[in-house]
Structure 1
Amino acid sequence: MTARIIKRAAALGVIAAMGAGAALADYDDDELVIDGVKIATKVPAPPGHPLPEIVSGWRFRSDETQALEADDFENPAMVAVDYGQSLWDAVDGEAGKSCASCHGDVEESMKGVRAGYPKWNEKAGRPFTLENQINACRTENMKAEPWKWESREMLAMTALVGKQARGYPMKIQKDGPMAEWIEKGKELYYTRFGQLDLACSNCHEDNYGKMIRADHLSQGHINGFPTYRFKWQGLGSLHRRFKGCMENIRAEPFKRGSDEFVALEAYLAVRGEGLGIETPAVRN
């Protein structure tokens, strides 16, 4: 059998698994409330949106997984949030500063901040993810070494900052210089990659609510990242999830922090606009 035939057969097998014979496991109507904060997990889709309604991945999870996220005492990612708080207060770098030196109380200064990222950075001439902004603060203001994208420190800090936006609706700038990046992300979302010849849309737009092997397909929104996944046995970034999806379809993944993944993040932020931030979410 030639490589082309093998590739085609694999792709057809995946598509068949997501087709009419796939088991349906649609989302539920439960409401997410964390520490008294009600978080929007389903919002109407605006005119022209590719989805009939916008639904968080939380609603596609089992009752047991939902319960873990709804209780900070049980949420396994809260250990990282606590570590992030210690990093926030710790002096680091040649400038002798901590995050708190400039920003004060994280609960006040970072309130709602995560909901607006990715965000255009005029000095850099490109969109900044939250990770980009954290490292810019470290290198420029604290004169400290940048953190690696998937480091324990970066995940803890993004979880801490993200938590301060719980319940705030995702809403990023869509006009001006951001428009080109969002359009680039949209193009990537609908582009087929890898040996399985699949695009993001094939799973998260065409087949959400279905089971593919042991995975329950959601609409693929990003309002809970960084997210604790049972598969990872820990916290992971959004770009780690992107990379994993590309590897699953046998494609060569882009790097974390690449222009491609930043553009895709921007498009998905627009695609899920109105959903409440859940950080740190819990998923399978």
Structure 2
Amino acid sequence: MNKQTLLFLSSIYLILISLFSVGVASAASPRQQSSYELMSAENKVMQDDPSLNPAMFWVGDGETLWQQKMGPQNKACSSCHGDPKNSMRGVATQFPKVIKGKLQTLEGQINQCRVGNQSSPPLAYESKDLLALTALIAFQSKGMPISVSETPANTAFLKKGRESFNERMGQLNLSCAQCHEDRAGLKLGGSPIPQGHPNAYPIYRLEWQTLGSLQRRLRNCMSGVRAQQFEYGSPEMAQLELFLMWRARGMPLESPGVRP
């Protein structure tokens, strides 16, 4: 076999490898799909109609809390931020984000504002008031695309979040990726497995009969695989949340959502 033939065959081989790699990448990177698309028509209507969406009660409570003056300085959220319809538009699409060197979730930033600007104690995770303020702020970005991107400031946090997403854990030795990437679209216990995007939080789950945060859902998953749960507000939880929001970048926020 002469040199020209070898070069020709090598070129064909490289082209085939390239095409195969593209095909594998495409198969491994399906179209982003919100779990909204997997719901029944009745549940979709419940989310879409503000008069039927039970999460809107928390948004209403958040509006009241927004105007409530607190602490020795007698300051409300509105004292600094004015009307949330203007000042909070697009804010929820950017979190988690690095602020003064610390990776901060939206809930964490709300508490930081309370402590630093209102001289008030932080709100407990999953408390009615923290969920209400989070729902109010997230609601102002409804329909806007998630805009979390990788930056020099968050690269290390994003890497750790990705590692958590792909790490096998618990007695069942499963990772987030094995369910929400490898088996997304299949069924578990008769229910479709979603891709696991966080674009509708906080959400009202019919299973919970109340509003809940993304961190509550993540802890539920960890419990489901018999793993040690990350603590609410922990760095590990913020890192995983960052990766999930980055993974869902470009998807429109549905907050506050409804799920079965």
Amino acid at match of 2:66: W
User: Which of 257, 263, 277 is 2:239 aligned to?
Assistant: 263
129, 134, 142: which one pairs with 2:118? 142
Is 1:118 the counterpart of 2:96? The answer is yes
How do 1:126-137 and structure 2 match up within 5 A? 126-137=102-113
Paired residues of 1:119 and 1:173 also in contact (CA < 8 A): no
SS of the residue corresponding to residue 245 of structure 2 reads: helix
Q: 1:64 aligns with which of 34, 42, 46?
A: 42
- Cα separation, 2, equivalents of 1:229 and 1:259: 25
* Kept in 2: contact 1:115–1:277 (CA 8 A): yes
1:130–1:152 Cα change, 3 Å: same
Q: Tell me by how many angstroms 1:210 deviates.
A: 2.0
1:154 and 2:149 are equivalent in the alignment: no
What 5-or-longer segments of structure 1 have no aligned partner?
1-46
Q: Is the 8 A contact 1:60 1:209 kept in 2?
A: no
What's the offset of the Cα at 1:51? 2.2
| Partners of 1:150 and 1:49 in 2: CA distance | 37
Letter in 2 for 1:93: G
Q: Distance in 1 between matches of 2:226 and 2:188?
A: 16
Equivalent-residue separation in structure 2 for 1:267 and 1:246 (angstroms): 16
SS at match of 2:69: coil
Q: Is the 8 A contact 2:103 2:235 kept in 1?
A: no
User: Per-residue CA shift, 1:137-157, capped at 9, x if unaligned?
Assistant: 101101111101111000000
Tell me which residue corresponds to 2:56. 78
One-letter identity of the residue aligned with 1:265: E
Deviation at 1:215, TM superposition (A): 3.4
Give yes or no for contact 1:170–1:275 (8 Å, CA) kept in 2.
Answer: yes
Instruction: For 1:190 and 1:87, locate their aligned partners in 2 and report how far apart those are by CA, in whole Å.
Output: 38
The TM-score normalised by the length of structure 2 is 0.88
Specify the SS of the correspondent of 1:228: strand
Q: Report if the CA contact (8 A) 1:135-1:147 is conserved.
A: yes
Q: Name the structure 2 match of 1:210.
A: 186
Q: Equivalent residue for 1:27?
A: none
SS for the counterpart of 1:88 is helix
The alignment-based identity, stated in percent, is 40
Specify which of 85, 95, 114 is matched with residue 73 of structure 2.
95
Work out the number of aligned pairs and report it: 236
Describe the SS at the equivalent of 1:65.
helix
Q: Residue 171 in 1 paired to residue 154 in 2?
A: no
The secondary structure found in structure 1 opposite 2:204 is strand
Change (3 A) 1:50 1:98: farther
Instruction: Tell me the C-alpha RMSD between the 2 structures.
Output: 1.4
Amino acid at match of 1:188: S
* TM-fit CA distance, 1:90: 0.6
Partner Cα distance (2:128, 2:142) in 1: 21
Q: Residue type matched to 1:204 in 2?
A: H
* Paired residues of 1:158 and 1:226 also in contact (CA < 8 A): yes
* Greater Rg by CA: 2
Any idea what SS the aligned residue of 2:182 has? coil
Superposed CA offset, 1:118-146 (max 9, x none): 01111xx2211001110111011011111
Unaligned ranges ≥5, structure 2: 1-24
Structure 1 CA distance, aligned partners of 2:92 and 2:27? 23
Alpha-carbon spacing, 1:197–1:159, altered in 2? closer, same or farther (3 Å): same
Query: Out of 155, 169, 175, which is 1:193 matched to?
Result: 169
1:162·1:279 contact (CA, 8 Å) conserved in 2?
A: yes
SS in 2 for 1:282: strand
